[in-house]
Amino acid sequence: MARLKTGALISGSGTNLQALLDAAASPDYPAEITLVISNKADAPGLARAEKAGVATQVIDHRDYADRAAFDAALDSALKAAACEFVCLAGFMRLLTPAFAEAWRDRLINIHPALLPSFKGLDAQAQALAAGARISGCTVHFVRPEMDAGPIIVQGAVPVLEGDDEAALAARILEVEHRIYPLALRLIADGRVSVAGDRVRITGAEGDAGAVLISPSG
Catalytic residues, which ones?
Answer: 111
Residues with Cβ within 8 Å of residue 174, at least 6 apart in sequence: none
Residue 68: which residues within 8 A CB-CB, separation 6 or more? 96, 98
Q: Are the C-beta atoms of 113 and 137 separated by less than 8 Å?
A: yes
Q: Among 189, 141, 213, 180, which residue's Cα sits nearest to residue 19?
A: 180
CB 49 within 8 A of CB 36: yes
- Residue type for 154, please? Q
Q: Is 86 helix (H, G, I), strand (E, B) or coil?
A: strand
75 Cβ neighbours under 8 A, 6+ residues apart: 99, 102, 103
What one-letter code names the amino acid at 207?
A: D
Q: How far apart are the first and last CA of the chain?
A: 30
